[in-house]
Amino acid sequence: MESFVHVVIILMLVTTAIAIVRVKDLFAVTMLAGIYGLLSASFFVLMDAHDVAFTEAAVGAGISTLLVLTTLSMTGRFEKASVKPQADYRPVLALVLVTVTGALLIYGTQDMPGFGTADAPVQTHVVPRYLNDSATEIGIPNVVASILASYRGYDTFGEVVVIFTAGIGVLAMVMSNATKMPVVQTALMSDHVVLRIVSKMLIPLIMLFALYVQFHGEYGPGGGFQAGVIFASAFILYAMLFGLTAARNVVNHTLVQLLSALGVLLYGSVGVVAMINGGNFLDYNFLSDDPVAGQMLGILLVELGVGITVASVMIIIFFTFTARSQKEGEAD
């Protein structure tokens, strides 16, 4: 039965992907991409990768769809079909390359250990220690959170910096001209009364849920990345319905920028404090007299840093795009 569900979901994924390639209406493409994200998330659930599924649902189906829609409000809804194909337009070559790549990938899967087999190298080498000892070494039940935030916490630090870099990239390219311009009052969907009332009820709940995801990451699927994204979507929803000015009254642009830096700094300073206390960078054992308490404190703080940076960068991207499109007078 399960393999039947697998096949169905994979078929749906392939169909969605083909539809994305063929459809010319960018609004539809965005929605299909959201569906693709949701299908992937379902597939990850079936593979028992709940943390990954949660992230994919929040990012792939959630915030990235929102951000692309914001972009579409600047670029227009339809692909500009070129009148005549360019001289170097060679779809055949591209098709051959993609086919070769795909064939090589399939070739590579042939000697892979079967999915979920107990004696596969991934199950027998480093993983046993994570599964058996993380409860005593780190003291939290969610092993995934232990690996992400502690055993491989430095990778996660790097990923937060990646998010921060993305925010800087958007600010550097789009924002800097738009900082001082007056913001137009209108909201993207100001005339939708039902939406406004429903969202007024929902936004506090979404934010509360984000906080739950943030602080529950040690016990179940969740953590800073998902929480940050959910928190930002609540904010973006508010801005879409009540206007950018109203949203900026809550958090102004400078403050969000500072917060995005502070999240990274919080993560980094946890590492530096561990160094000052005599440990290695990010060695949470040195944060407290009791190593396990130190680990829990460290994970709590770095997850908070992740959450703050992710939420602020998402809001920065939305703010800059919307501000720009309103400035050019083609939005709403």
Partner 1 sequence: MIVHLSVLQVIIPLIAAPICLLLRKSELAWAFATLVAFMTLAVSVALLSQVMQSGPVSYELGGWEAPWGIEYRVDMLNAPLLVLISAISALALLASRTSIENEIPENRHTFFYIAWLLCMAGLLGITATGDAFNVFVFLEISSLATYTLIALGKDRRALWASFQYLVAGTIGATFILIGIGLMYVMTGTLNMADLAQRLPDVENTKTVFTAFAFLIVGVCMKLALFPLHLWLPNAYTFAPSIVTTFLAATATKVAVYVMIRFIFDVFGFEFSFTHFPLQEVLLTLGIAGIFVASVVAIYQDNLKRMLAYSSVAQVGYIMLGISFASQTGIMATLLHMLNHGLMKGALFLALAAVVYRMGIAQLSQMHGIASRMPLTMAAFLIGGLSLIGVPLTVGFISKWYLVSAALENGWWPVAAAILLGSLLSVVYIWRVIEVAYFKPVSESTPDVKEAPAALLIPMWILVLANLYFGIETSLTVGVSQMAAADLFGGLR
- For residue 14, the cross-strand partners are none
Sequence-separated (6 or more) residues with CB below 8 Å from residue 319: 239, 244, 247, 248, 253, 256
Question: Is 150 a binder of partner 1 (CB under 8 A)?
Answer: yes
Task: Rule CB under 8 A: choose which of 8, 18, 76, 113 binds partner 1.
Answer: 113
> What are residue 85's phi and psi, to 5 degrees?
-60, 145
Q: Applying CB under 8 A, does 26 fall inside the site for partner 1?
A: no
When asked if residue 276 is in the footprint of partner 1 (CB under 8 A), the reply is no
**Position 151 contacts partner 1 (CB under 8 A):** yes
**Of 232, 225, 230, residue with least CA distance to 210:** 230
Nearest to 189 by CA among 64, 69, 27: 69
Tell me, by CB under 8 A, how many residues bind partner 1: 61
CA atoms of 171 and 313, how far apart (whole Å) = 10
d(CA 108, CA 234): 42
87 interacts with partner 1 by CB under 8 A: no
**At closest approach, how far in Å is the CB of 309 from partner 1?**
9
For residue 221, the minimal CB distance to partner 1 (Å) is: 21
Q: Please identify, among the stretches 15-23, 211-219, 233-241, 280-288, the one whose residues bind partner 1 according to the rule CB under 8 A.
A: 280-288
Which of 69, 230, 282, 331 binds partner 1 (CB under 8 A)? It is 282
Report the distance separating Cα 61 and Cα 73, nearest Å. Answer: 19
Q: Does 262 bind partner 1 (CB under 8 A)?
A: yes
Torsion of CA 230, 235, 240, 241, to 10 degrees: 110
Residue from 78, 89, 154, 219 in contact with partner 1 (CB under 8 A): 154
Binding site for partner 1 (CB under 8 A): 104-105, 107-113, 120-127, 129-130, 150-155, 158-159, 161-162, 164-166, 168-169, 171-173, 176-177, 179, 257-258, 260-262, 264-265, 268-269, 271-272, 274-275, 279-286
